Amino acid sequence: MASEIPEFEQALSELERSLLSLRDRYIQVKRDQQRQVELKNRIEVINEAWQHRRSQELRQELKHLETELETLELNLESQLFTWGSLREPFWQAVRFGGLGVVIGWLLKLWAG
């Protein structure tokens, strides 16, 4: 029983790291989505200006913004949740949650 405590602590520590990583990725996705909206709005404004005044500066800025937008969209297309990133926490939850249910049933049978 005492040898299970360090294993549990290690598993709990790994789960915490996974959750922090997931939180950081979620924050990044939200930030990228906001930036995506800003870039689309800016591209729309530049396109309107391009219709009235065709200049090399506007063309360069438009290309730069479109490149940045493509990069953001690629980042956003990557999945926030993948089976690979959730596999370990999922099985830890199944294992320890299942163990808790079994122990609860045994205690109920023994007590009552």
Share of the chain above pLDDT 90, in %: 5
Name residue 36's amino acid: Q
Token pair of 52, please? 């009235």
For the chain, give the mean pLDDT. 82
Residue ranges in the chain assigned as alpha helix (H): 4-52, 56-77, 83-111
Q: How many CB atoms lie within 10 A of CB 2?
A: 5
Residue 38's pLDDT is 92
- Measured in degrees and rounded to the nearest 5, phi and psi for residue 25 equal -65, -40
For 33-58, how does the pLDDT look when each residue is reduced to its tens digit (9 = 90+)? 899 899 899 989 988 888 888 888 88
User: What's residue 18's pLDDT?
Assistant: 86
Label residue 80 by pLDDT band (50, 70, 90): low
**Under 8 Å CB-to-CB from 36, ≥6 apart: which residues?**
69, 72, 73, 76
pLDDT of residue 37: 92
Q: What is the pLDDT of residue 34?
A: 93
Q: What is the model's pTM?
A: 0.55
Q: How far is CA 42 from CA 19, 60, 62, 77, in A?
A: 35, 13, 9, 21
Percent of the chain with pLDDT over 70: 89
Q: Among the listed ranges 20-24, 55-59, 64-68, 82-86, which one has the minimum average pLDDT value?
A: 82-86
